[in-house]
Amino acid sequence: MTRIPGRSAIRSTMVALTAALTVGAAVAAIPRIATADVVTAAAGVEDEGAGCPVPALPDPGALPTVAKLPDPFKKIDGTRIATKSEWTCRREEIKKQAERYVYGEKPAKPQTVTGTVTSTSITVNVSHQGKSSSFSAKVELPGGSGPFPAVVVLGGFGADTAAIKAAGAAVINYDPYAVGKEGTPRSNKQGAFYSIYGSSSSTGLLMAWAWGVSRIIDVIEQSGGTILRPDATGVTGCSRFGKGAFVIGAFDQRIALTMPIESGSAGVPIFRGIPGEGAQSLSSAYGEQPWLGDAFGSFTSSPTRLPVDTHEMVAMVAPRGLFIMDNPHIVNLGPKSASVAALGGAEVYKALGAGDNITYWSDIQDGNHCASRPEWRTPLQQNIQKFLLKTGNAAGTMRISSKAAGNLAEWRDWQTPVLGTGTPSTPPSGPGPSDPPPSNPPPSGCSASISVNAWNGGFVGTVKVTAGASDLNGWTVGLTLPAGATITGSWNTTRTGASGAVQFANVSYNGRVTAGQTTEFGFQATGTSTAMTPTCTPA
């Protein structure tokens, strides 16, 4: 049921997007699943945990059988994380396990990535260890002046590109088959990825497709940010391309909004639940196309030996935007197992204070695969506004159809911890009722920190502004750029200056920051990055 005979099926998916963005807000307001205010921006790097140590992983044959879903908060060494800051390295453990046993390795950024971004296309040229490949994607811009956020659509938009453009975002039509071609044997995979890493690479197509989108983002980052914004990229697709969209969003933290649609087996549904639900079997999904990595062949008949499951891939997207759209009318798609994956991953979102950033919606009437969904019109529009346009703050929800409602309690034997904000060695502890007030109360005002993603000749800076003990009603950040560096574009801020000492101020929608919470803005610059120390002043 996850087969798509051609791009016409993807066009029908895009009809859903058209309806969602052009029909008025007829759906009732989305109920909240959490109340914490969190930053909605994507990370400035592909993998924040790349430097985290990960223990050696055992061979598939040495793994024990575990019927329940693995505890996403339990580290490989058996201890559980206690603070939010530990999630970065715990996420890296999950990433490495998912690569080792499920999808195959996603190589780090190649030695050389170059390309161009124009108002109509993106070209990508890659070279690594003496091998090279290239591919391109079509770009369609909305009206108005850029730089624009963009949505990568797997398989092509066809005539329905007007939907996303109407919302103010550009469209990147990405052909996954140029990077990883279907219809090839596992021993002779083809496409731009395999031209670099070998036709017998054990990495499956889904991860190859993810690698391709990451290289597109590399080129956008290097382009100067005058056409497309490097901090506001979304991804979507339906059926097999829904599988791809899910993996793309999980494995690149620069993706601000991930929107898989009816992804089926090898997509969102938990592997452990697929056999009992009667969905497309794991052996069928593994054999239909080389979507999954070669190592997954060891688990098609025994998914309970997997040390990871897809609820943890859902969690890998946290705290970024995730909108999973599903179809409860087709058992072969595994919608019940998909709802369990969403519920399990949502526990990590909640623990990180980002429960408002995930939506799962299978409460729909039309049962046709990849059909138009009027029920999705409002949540889809709200997700694009919130995570790409940065003009909304609607909360996510779980709208699970009674036709395919999974029960997370049946699948877990772990509880969600309350994660502190300190470090593991000094967990936070509040004063007791008889304790004296702290001698060093939290400072008022605000603070700022910066993370940098650099390449030869340029860099992107993502600045986090944190409110102190009192709410902020506006802020200004001062920053001295490295010698020779010049800002070519910025977002979520108004800027004074482009070199030397530069000042950034809030815009209308991010000036108010509640005590202890954060907001982010970013800029792109030419030149060489060195250490920078931003300072924050309340308005």
User: 11-410 and 446-538: same fold?
Assistant: no
* DSSP code string of 82-107: -BGGGHHHHHHHHHHHHIIIII---P
- Measure the CA–CA gap between 5 and 15, rounded to whole angstroms: 17
Domain boundaries, the chain: 11-410, 446-538
Report the amino acid identity of residue 478.
Answer: G
- Measure the CA–CA gap between 136 and 234, rounded to whole angstroms: 18
How much is the pLDDT for 146? 86
Please name which of 285, 371, 292 lies closest in space to residue 327, comparing C-alpha atoms. 371
- Measure the CA–CA gap between 115 and 363, rounded to whole angstroms: 42
Q: Answer yes or no: are the C-beta atoms of 320 and 42 closer than 8 Å.
A: yes
Which of 133, 202, 239, 263 is catalytic? The answer is 239
Report the amino acid identity of residue 283.
Answer: S
Q: Answer yes or no: are the C-beta atoms of 212 and 252 closer than 8 Å.
A: no
Report the amino acid identity of residue 102.
Answer: V
- Measure the CA–CA gap between 323 and 41, rounded to whole angstroms: 15
128 annotated active-site: no
Q: How far is CA 305 from the centre of its chain?
A: 26
Q: How far is CA 76 from the centre of its chain?
A: 23
The helix (run of H) or strand (run of E) holding residue 247 is: helix 240-250
Dihedral of the CA atoms 24, 25, 27, 30 (nearest 10)? 160
User: What's the CATH fold of domain 446-538?
Assistant: Immunoglobulin-like (2.60.40)
Tens of each residue's pLDDT in the chain, 539 residues: 444 434 333 444 444 444 444 333 322 233 333 333 344 567 889 999 999 999 999 999 999 999 999 999 999 999 999 999 999 999 999 999 999 999 999 999 999 999 999 999 999 999 999 999 999 999 999 999 889 999 999 997 533 566 778 888 999 999 999 999 999 999 999 999 999 999 999 999 999 999 999 999 999 999 988 999 989 999 999 999 999 999 999 999 999 999 999 999 999 999 999 999 999 999 999 999 999 999 999 999 999 999 999 999 999 999 999 999 999 999 999 999 999 999 999 999 999 999 999 999 999 999 999 987 888 888 888 898 999 999 889 999 999 999 999 999 999 999 999 999 865 443 333 333 333 333 343 456 899 999 887 767 778 788 889 999 888 999 999 999 999 999 987 877 899 999 999 999 998 767 888 888 888 888 888 898 889 999 999 98
Which of 369, 372, 401, 529 is catalytic? The answer is 369
Report the amino acid identity of residue 145.
Answer: S
How many H-runs (helices) and E-runs (strands) does the chain carry? Answer: 11, 20
- Measure the CA–CA gap between 478 and 488, rounded to whole angstroms: 17
Other residues' Cβ atoms within 10 Å of the Cβ of residue 244: 33
Q: Where are the beta strands (DSSP E) in 31-130?
A: 112-117, 121-128
Q: Answer yes or no: are the C-beta atoms of 244 and 200 closer than 8 Å.
A: no
Q: Answer yes or no: are the C-beta atoms of 146 and 232 closer than 8 Å.
A: no
* Cα–Cα distance list, 180 to 34, 106, 268, 290 (Å): 39, 13, 20, 9
Residue linked to tokens 């956008």: 220
311 annotated active-site: no
The helix (run of H) or strand (run of E) holding residue 538 is: strand 535-538
Q: Answer yes or no: are the C-beta atoms of 312 and 70 closer than 8 Å.
A: yes
Residue linked to tokens 């089926």: 264
If one looks up domain 11-410 in CATH, what number appears?
3.40.50.1820
